[in-house]
Structure 1
Amino acid sequence: MVHRLTWFEPQRGEDQLREFFITALIDVGASLILQSRDGTYVCITSLPPRWKLTPGVTPSDTTVFGKEIGERLVEMKAGLKNPGDRAELEIEAADDTFFEFRCRMAEMDNHDLHLITVVIDRTEDRRRERLLRALLREVSHRSKNLLAIIQSIASQTARYAGSLDTFLGKFRGRLHALSQSQDLITDSSWRGAYFRDLLKQQVERYIQENGDLVHVSGDDVLLTPNASLHIGLALHELVVNAVSHGDFLQRRRPIEVSCRRQELPEGPVVKIIWEEPFSGIDESRDAKASRFGSTVLERVVPSSVNGQAKHDLKNGLVRYELTFPLETFD
């Protein structure tokens, strides 16, 4: 049996209640259709705007919803015989819109059977679902890339670590640098990270009290997520090497860092230059080609951003220059 209202004020007229329910149906994007057992339309409320009632034409599934949808509704409803029988149908209409038809057979107070159909606009729900699926695919793709980078870092760190303690110390530092860059990427809704933010992270972690000794100039370029991860890793290596093997702190001579966008015939590029004053020849710096830090700076990072790098120690300077094409954002 169809239940009546749970409660309502007796003094409320039918017109007020009818207005209330129709307004509520419109707000939730739902339409109600009541049909007799043989399919004859009894009433329709808040029909979606895309479907119109033709003046002078008796409403039916076909005349209201068109031949294709109407025939599917008639077929679905033909299978409802007894009170409580239910069926659902989702329709993808034109203009990438979606509607759900929920139909059930109900017994009224006079024991007559009627078909009650609820039409719900599911367009926004389906769009959100598609967006969510796309985001999940993107997260999966980026997670795989991140895991590949971590695997590479672990492998290369182990190759040049002389002991387990050395491996753990270097690997943790590089992993932390990667996670910091990832935080910036996530905060930007996956757009990427700005160069100065990447540099600031490493300076604040390793030489916070002497941050004034790192001078930065040029353009604060927004880098893609992939470039952000690898440039962040390169800056980590440069800062750690400067603190561990350099003498700029003792001599109070600043490191000059620049990042500039340049327009070339083949497209925009980014050029990053690191110039660190260094006096004398230290064995650890002179043998840089055998260290993972050098591998990151000279091979891993340039390859990952489709660029080229130069890493030299001469004339009292540790100089690193990285040039790579700039991927623009829409």
Structure 2
Amino acid sequence: MTGWLPFLFGKEETAVRSETWSSGLVVLHGVADAVIALSLILIPAGLLYLYRRREDNNPRETALMKLFVLFILAVGLVHLVSLFTLWTPVQGLEGLLKAGAALLALTAAIVLWRATPHLMQLPSRDRLQAEIAAHLRTFEELKDARTLLEERVEARTKELAEAKQRFEIALRGSPITVFSQDEQMRFTWTHNLPTGFRPEQVIGETDADLFPPDVAEKIMRAKRNAMETGVSQELEVNFELFGRKRSFYLVIEPLVDDAGANIGTTSIAVDITERKANEDQLRLLLRELTHRCKNLLAVIHAIARQTASRTRSINDFLEAFSARLVAIGASHDLLIADDWHGASLRMLVEQQLGAHADRFGDGIAIEGEDVMLKPEAVQNLGLALHELATNARKYGSLSEPCGQIRIHWQVCDEVSKLKLVWQERGGPPVTPPERSGFGRAMIETVVGKALEGNVRLSFPPRGVRCEIVIPVAQITSRG
């Protein structure tokens, strides 16, 4: 044991140094060893601080860092011990520390050489700066692309908003409803629902929840066909909705995703209730028009035969027949002006006496509360007024400048009759005709029978008098 003490503490060598080195040389060695030892202790501390501040350390770099820290600390301790050997004999301890430092140095050198390929892959400063510059350029490009993308998104959003606004304006107030349904036929979106429906009542429901069973089955069958075949379906349904019979025309389109799989349907429903009502009304009007045309042709045929039987020449026939056709046409003009609902009695009288309109007032007095006559009454009374006016122009009050005609009527509610009186005065003296002409036959027979009324035609000397009484059923409304 005593043999190792000189080796560990080196008393003899210390004595030699003390005898051979000057005091300045000893101080120089001491200061140098102290500075080196302190530096070699501070350097690992700084490396450890940097290592802890970094967050992207990998295991290989961590092991290499720890090895170099130990190596540098070992060398620092060697220099620290060398400082004390100037005055204290511890050369043995210094040797052991140097041996450990040498071992760590060798190990560090081996590890460093083995890690060289990995370290060679680490970027240089220039490369890092180039990569940073490239990343900055990429960042600027991405920033510009983001700005452009935001502008495009804003433009597309504006276009979509405008398209939606136009879509809503186009459907607002229209009888068109647009909606979509999923595979289970539940409503997922609706727009412009028919009056009486609200979106919250429809979304999530099926056709079976909203419509009568037979109608719902018909609609759902068409939607299933659209999803199965991929072909649009069209159908018309009629059902009672909120106490009113409604008709809808549906166009059903299959709805598919980007992969082409069916995900439901999108449909358009057009409320054609008004159109159907108009079609029914048109069919009714056509049937009524056909009936009236037949009646009118029968009247024209009768007029033609009666006129022909009471005229002596073709010219007389053409003149009388044409005048009567014009009278019928005038009555029809009044009916057409009011969509064949009827015509005003006052307008009918004024129209049939239109050739003498300059005498309205004093010469021709028209009196009575105006009423609306039904089409059949307009046609027949028009013919009667035409015959009376023609007779007055040829033989009666209208043939004299001072002649007068008073036409007046009144509705007798107690007997449900309309009474019209034609009274002439101031014309040539009247004598009863020896035979019944066509005009008289038209007034007494055709008008009376056609209107289920009563006609009294008399010929007092002061002027012709005609009383026409018809049921108020021939009146549509009072003027």
TM class by shorter chain equals 0.7 to 0.9
Matching of residues 21-40 of structure 1 within 5 Å: 21=167, 24-25=170-171, 27-28=173-174, 29-36=176-183, 39=184
Q: Which residue matches 2:65?
A: none
In the alignment, which residue of structure 2 is the partner of 1:5? none
Question: Counterparts of 2:204 and 2:464 in 1: how far apart (Å)?
Answer: 86
- Greater shift in the superposed pair: 209-218 or 123-132: 209-218
Q: Which structure 2 residues correspond to residues 139-178 of structure 1 after superposition, within 5 A?
A: 139-178=289-328
Q: Matched residue of 2:158: which SS?
A: coil
Shift of 1:170: 0.2
Equivalences for 1:119-134 in 2 at 5 Å?
A: 119-134=269-284
Q: Does the Cα contact within 8 Å between 2:407 and 2:420 map onto a contact in 1?
A: no
* Percentage of pairs with the same residue: 27
Gaps of 5+ in 2: 1-153
Superposed counterparts of 1:131-280, under 5 Å? 131-205=281-355, 207-211=356-360, 212-246=362-396, 249-250=399-400, 252-264=402-414, 266-280=415-429
Q: Secondary structure at the match of 1:215?
A: strand
The question of 1:76 aligning with 2:225 is answered: no
- The alpha-carbon distance between structure 1 residues 239 and 30, as it changes in their structure 2 partners (threshold 3 A), is same
Larger fraction in helix: 2
The aligned counterpart of 2:448 is 302
Moved more, 310-319 or 226-235: 310-319
- 1:18–1:275 distance in 2 versus 1, CA, 3 Å: closer
The match for 1:286 is 433
Shift of 1:292: 0.5
Displacement after TM superposition at 1:67 (Å): 4.1
Separation (CA, whole Å) in 1 of partners of 2:357 and 2:228: 77
Which of 190, 215, 229 matches 1:45?
190
SS of equivalent residue, structure 2 residue 469: strand
Q: What letter corresponds to residue 188 of structure 2 in structure 1?
A: C
1:97 aligns with 2:242: no
Return closer, same or farther for 1:110/1:326 CA change in 2, 3 Å cut-off.
Answer: same
Q: Distance in 1 between matches of 2:185 and 2:161?
A: 24
Please report the TM-score for the alignment, with normalisation by the length of structure 1: 0.80
Contact 2:407 2:423 in 1 (8 A): yes
Structure 1: state its 5+ residue gaps: 1-7
Letter of the 1:131 partner, please give it. Answer: Q
- The Cα of 1:167 is off from its aligned counterpart by 0.9
Deviation at 1:109, TM superposition (A): 2.9
Please say which of residues 57-66 and 254-263 is displaced more in the overlay: 57-66
Please identify, of 146-155 and 271-280, the stretch whose mean Cα deviation from structure 2 is larger: 271-280
CA contact (8 A) 2:234 2:249 kept: yes
**3-state SS of paired residue (2:383):** helix
Change (3 A) 1:276 1:181: farther
Pairwise CA RMSD of aligned residues? Answer: 3.3
SS of the equivalent of 1:10 reads helix
Aligned: 1:326 with 2:467: no
Which has a greater percent of strand?
1
Does structure 2 retain, via aligned residues, the 8 Å contact 1:153–1:171?
Answer: yes
Separation in 2, partners of 1:229, 1:104 = 54
Higher relative contact order (CA 8 A, sep 6+): 1
**1:5-32 per-position Cα deviation (integer Å, ceiling 9, x unaligned):** xxx9424386776676466555442122
State how far apart, in whole Å, the 2-side matches of 1:88 and 1:141 are: 36
User: The residue matched to 1:77 in structure 2 has which SS?
Assistant: helix
Q: Is the 8 A contact 1:247 1:278 kept in 2?
A: yes
- Closer/same/farther in 2, CA of residues 215 and 75 from structure 1, 3 Å limit: closer
Matched residue pairs, number?
316
Q: CA deviation at 1:173?
A: 0.5
Q: Which has the larger radius of gyration?
A: 2
